[in-house]
A and B are shown apart, each in its own frame.
Chain A
Amino acid sequence: MARIRNDYENSWWPRLLRWLETGSSALDDRMEEEMEATHEGHLLPSPEEIAAQEAKREERIQRKLSDELALYTHAHQWSRTKGAKLADWAYRILAVVICLAIIFLLLQTASFLPSFGSPDNPAHNEVSRRYIEKGMEETGAVNIVAGMILDYRAFDTLGESNVLFVAACSVLILLRLSSDKKDLSSVHQLEMEADDRMYEPKNDIILQKVSTLLVPIILLYGVYGVMNGHISPGGGFSGGAVMGAGLILYLNAFGFKKAQRFFTFPVFQAVSACALTFYALSKAYSFFTGANHLPSFISPGTPGNLFSAGLIPYLNIAVGLVVCCTMYAFYTHFRKGDM
C-alpha cells in the first residue's frame, strides 16, 4: 500500500518549486547576511593604491612575457638550425632503414612462395581439378571462369555487386546536390555549366565525330562481352565497365543535355535495383533447389549456345547493368553532383 502524504507543503516537489522561484533557501539567506556584516567596516582601497598595484602587475606580466619570448626564440633557433638538421638526418636514415627492412621482409616471404606455374603447387588440388573436369557439364558454361564466378561461387559475385552498389550509394550521399538547388536562376546554372566545362572543348567537332564513330562500337563490344560471358572471355564486370566507359565518352562529347534524354536518375535507380533484385532472387532459387536436392527447371543447355548455361547469361546481364550504371553515376556525380 502506498503511503499517503498529508503535508504536501513540505514534500520535495513543492520545496523544489519554491527553491526555483525564490532562488535561494533560508540557509543561503543567512550566509549572505553574515558575509555582508563582515564586509561592513572594510574601506575600499584608494585610487593611488589601485594604480600602484596595476603598475606592478603590468611590470610582472611584461617580465614574464619577455622571459617566455627569450625561451621561445632560443628553442626555435635550436630547432631551426641544429634541431632541424638532426631531425632531417634522423628522418632520412629512418626512411631508408624502414624501406630496406620492408623490402627484405617481402622478398624473404616471396622466396618461400611456390614457383609460378608448377604443377605441384598447393593451388592445384581436387577443387580446381573438379572445376576443370566437370565444370562444363555441370554449369554448361564454356568459359570456366564464368561458370566458377556465377555458378559455383555466385554468392561471392552477389557480394561484389552489392559492394559496388553500396559504393554508388555512398558517392550519392557524399556528392549529390540537394534538390532545392534545382530552382536556381538559369544564369547561375549557365555559369555553373561554364565552370564545369572550363577545360573541355565545348561542342568540339573532332571529339563529336570520333565519338559518333566510336561510341556504338564500344557499347556493342560491351554488350558482346556481357552476352557472351559464358562462352568467351569477358563477363558482367568487364563488359559493364566497357559500356560505362562508352557512355562517359558519349556524355563528354555531347554534353549532359543529350545524355539526359535516355539516362536520368530514376533510370539509374530502377535499373540498379531491378538488376540486383533479379540476381538475388534467381540465386536464392538456385541455392534453395540445389541445397535441398529439388528438381530445378533451369537446365545447362547445350554448351556453346548463346542461350545456354542455365542462369549464367542472365546473371551476367544483371551484373553488367549494375556495373555500367554505377560507373556512369560515379562520373556524373563527380562532375556536377547530379545526373
Chain B
Amino acid sequence: MELLNILLLIFIIICAVAVSLTKNLFTSIVIFMSQSLAMSVIWLLLESPDLAVTEAAVGAGITSLLLFVTLKKIHAIDQQKKGAAQHGTDQE
C-alpha cells in the first residue's frame, strides 16, 4: 500500500509537470484528467471515499468536459489539427 501511494504521488508530480510542458492543449487536458483520477485514488487510500467520488466526478469528469467544450468553441482543436496536417505535409 505504501508503494502504491508513492507511485501515485510520483505520477501526480509527473502529470503536473507534463501539463505545463505540453504544447498541445488537447493533450494537456487529457493529462490533467489522468492527474485528477490518480488524485481520487489517493483520496480513497486516505480513507475519504466521498472526496474520491467528488474528485472523480468533478475533477476528471465535468471540469475536463468544460475545458474540451471551451477548446472547441475557440476552435483550438481545429487549428491544431490543421497545423499538424500542414506540418506533416511540409515534412513530406
Q: Closest Cβ of chain B: how far from A323's Cβ, in Å? A: 9
- Contact assessment for A235 and B50 in the assembled complex, using a CB-CB cutoff below 8 Å: yes
| CA–CA, A244 and B57, complex, Å | 9
How many angstroms from the CA of A193 to the CA of B50 in the assembled complex?
37
- Closest Cβ neighbor of A235 among chain B residues: B50
B83 at the interface (CB under 8 A from A): no
Q: Do B49 and A233 have beta carbons less than 8 Å apart?
A: yes
Contact check: which of B53, B61, B62 meets A225 at CB < 8 Å?
B53
- Stretch from B6-14, B30-38, B65-73 at the A interface: B65-73
Report the interface size class on chain A: 20 to 34
Q: How distant is B27 from chain A, measured CB to nearest CB, in Å?
A: 16
- A199 surroundings in chain B (CB, below 8 A): 72, 77
Q: With a CB–CB cut-off of 8 A, which chain A residues contact B51?
A: 238
* B54 contacts the other chain (CB 8 A): yes
If A199-B77, A334-B70 touch, does A238 touch B54 (CB 8 Å cutoff)?
yes
Q: Is A154 an interface residue (CB 8 A)?
A: no
Given the complex of chains A and B, what is the CA–CA distance between A239 and B54 in angstroms? 8
B18 at the interface (CB under 8 A from A): no
Interchain CB contact under 8 A, B69 and A331:
yes
Bound together, the chains give a CA A265 to CA B31 distance in angstroms of 34
Which residues of the partner chain A approach B4 to less than 8 Å between Cβ atoms?
none
Partner of B54 from A237, A248, A330, A334 at Cβ < 8 Å = A237
Residues of A within 8 A of B61 (CB): 241, 245
Mostly, the B contact residues are helix
A233 to B54 CA separation, bound complex (whole angstroms): 11
A335 → B minimal CB distance (Å): 6
Residues of A bordering B, CB below 8 Å: 145, 198-199, 225, 233-235, 237-239, 241-242, 244-245, 248, 327, 330-331, 334-335
Query: Do B57 and A238 have beta carbons less than 8 Å apart?
Result: yes
A238 to B50, CA, bound (A): 7
For A198, the chain B residues whose CB sits under 8 A away are 72, 78
Residues of B within 8 A of A239 (CB): 53
Q: Which of A237, A241, A335 contacts B62 (CB 8 A)?
A: A241
Q: Which residues in B have their C-beta under 8 angstroms from that of A233?
A: 48-50, 53
Determine whether the beta carbon of B57 is less than 8 Å from that of A241: yes
19 contacts between A and B (CB under 8 A): A198-B78, A199-B72, A199-B77, A225-B53, A233-B49, A234-B49, A234-B50, A234-B53, A237-B54, A238-B51, A239-B53, A241-B57, A241-B58, A245-B61, A248-B62, A248-B65, A331-B66, A334-B66, A334-B70
